[in-house]
Amino acid sequence: MKKVVLAYSGGLDTSIIIPWLKETYGYEVIAMSADLGQGEELAPLQEKAIKSGASKLYIEDLREEFLTDFVFPTLKAGAVYEGSYLLGTSFARPLIARRLVEIAEKEGAVAIAHGATGKGNDQVRFELSVKALNPDLEIIAPWRLWNLKSREDCIDYAQARGIPVPVTKDRPYSMDRNLWHLSHEGGDLENPWNEPKRDLYLLGVSPEDAPDEPTYLELGFEQGAPTSLNGEKIAPVALLETLNQLGGKNGIGIVDMVENRLVGMKSRGVYETPGGTILYMAHQALERLTLDRLTLHYKEQIALKYAELVYDGVWYSPLREALDAFVNVTQKNATGTVRVKLYKGNCTLAGVKSPYSLYNEAFATFGEDGVYDQKDAGGFINLFGLPLKVRALMEKESGLRK
């Protein structure tokens, strides 16, 4: 019997894909669930996968690898998709795909299957990663093949086979959770005019429900990577768990946006990224202190391309690796401490310091100083503005300017 390895979350789609693969192809189905910080969601998966028809289930703890190899490089790049999305789902997929390929090779499987829909970005992310890592593996995408047309159809399919699913027709949201974020799509959110319901949020609270007193944190960075919290060294997983708890309590990191999917349509998603929002804000503040103007401005351009590569699923590409090389050079002096203030949905800077700071108070002061001759600025302005002056003279002499 041929084998297929399924990216299994225990959600509605992947729960029914197991019996569908067996009924359609006659394959033995091996399920793989990546532990990226879903917490209690993983506990019932072993029993559920077997009852759904899988021959076995791999539960792979990839949390630290997720943060150090995928999240932190993206953080150091400053990559944000369309100004708001911190790429929580996007950079999880290439890691999951890599482990799927490794298990498929170990088990002698001929195919990999996933539950991404034909309308979504994840199908691209999974499949480009598989093609880059093992082009000989077949890829099965049931949503592009079966006759089920909606999540309601999927619920009916599951109920007919006695498969319990974590959604109902009353709460039909599609959710993706990991250490970095929690996304919500579908249901009433498909209409951008609908405000998210108050009980939608699971990682935190609405800003109006946050405490009336602010929370202050001090984050330490070494070469762009976060390494300490409030003066104490802390491992990556523990750091994100703590920041998610503190940020969520203060209503930090809620993003409601309509984004441009890679496949051509616009979609509406509500994202909870409390810890990630804190880290991005703190890292940006540190870079502003330690990077020179030319490098900082050019890095902002690189960040846009980096975000597109991650969003589009082109993680395993020479360009992404080349951009990482540039980013890592910019992070050599991105070491220091950032103090942030969390208050009712806002994360604001409360202080920043670094042994590699390019901020020099002696030069920047509005008080008396002995290092800066203000008369020098006149010559600089004359030279810097010379092209504008020459153009103005030409327009005056040629009659273009009256």
Q: Any known ligand binding at 231? A: no
Q: Any known ligand binding at 183? A: yes
What does the alpha-carbon distance between residue 377 and residue 190 come to, in Å, rounded to a whole number? 55
Residue 355 tokens, joined: 């042994």
Q: Any known ligand binding at 300? A: no
Q: Any known ligand binding at 134? A: no
Pick the CATH number of 181-291+333-353 from 3.90.1260.10, 3.10.28.10, 3.30.70.1400, 3.40.50.2020: 3.90.1260.10
| Tokens 């067996």, located at residue | 22
What does the alpha-carbon distance between residue 187 and residue 173 come to, in Å, rounded to a whole number? 6
Q: Which of 24, 147, 37 has the alpha carbon at shortest distance from 88?
A: 37
Sheet of 336-343, strands arranged across: 232-233, 225-229, 215-222, 336-343, 346-353
Q: Which of 121, 114, 63 has the alpha carbon at shortest distance from 87?
A: 121
pLDDT score recorded for residue 402? 73
Containing 339, the helix (H) or strand (E) segment is strand 336-343
CATH 3.40.50.620 corresponds to the domain 3-64+89-171: yes
Mind telling me the catalytic residues?
Answer: 13, 93, 122, 174
Q: Any known ligand binding at 356? A: no
In the beta sheet, which residues pair with residue 270? Answer: 184, 256
pLDDT score recorded for residue 167? 62
Q: CA angle 298-303-304, nearest 5°?
A: 105
* Pairing status of strand 3-7 against strand 336-343: unpaired
Residue spans per domain, the chain: 3-64+89-171, 181-291+333-353, 361-397
Q: Any known ligand binding at 311? A: no
Sheet of 266-272, strands arranged across: 174-177, 182-185, 266-272, 254-260
Measured between alpha carbons, how far is residue 86 from residues 138, 139, 267, 280 in Å?
Answer: 31, 28, 16, 9
Written as one letter, the residue type at 119 is K
Q: Any known ligand binding at 398? A: no
Residue 62 tokens, joined: 């990839």
Helix residue spans in 121-266 (DSSP H): 122-133, 151-160, 236-249
Counting as low any pLDDT under 70, the low residues of the chain are 166-172
Residue 57, SS3 per DSSP: strand
Residue 236 tokens, joined: 């990556």
Contact 254, 206 (CB under 8 A): yes
Q: Which residues contact 170 (CB under 8 A, 6 or more apart)?
A: none
Q: Any known ligand binding at 8? A: yes
Cβ atoms < 10 Å from Cβ of 325: 8
Containing 17, the helix (H) or strand (E) segment is helix 12-25
Q: Which of 71, 32, 86 has the alpha carbon at shortest distance from 54?
A: 32
Residue 209, SS3 per DSSP: helix
Residue 182 tokens, joined: 């929690």
Helix residue spans in 211-335 (DSSP H): 236-249, 274-290, 293-311, 318-330
Handedness of CA 63, 65, 68, 74 (dihedral sign): negative
Q: Which residues contact 328 (CB under 8 A, 6 or more apart)?
A: 76, 223, 224
Q: Any known ligand binding at 359? A: no
pLDDT score recorded for residue 319? 98
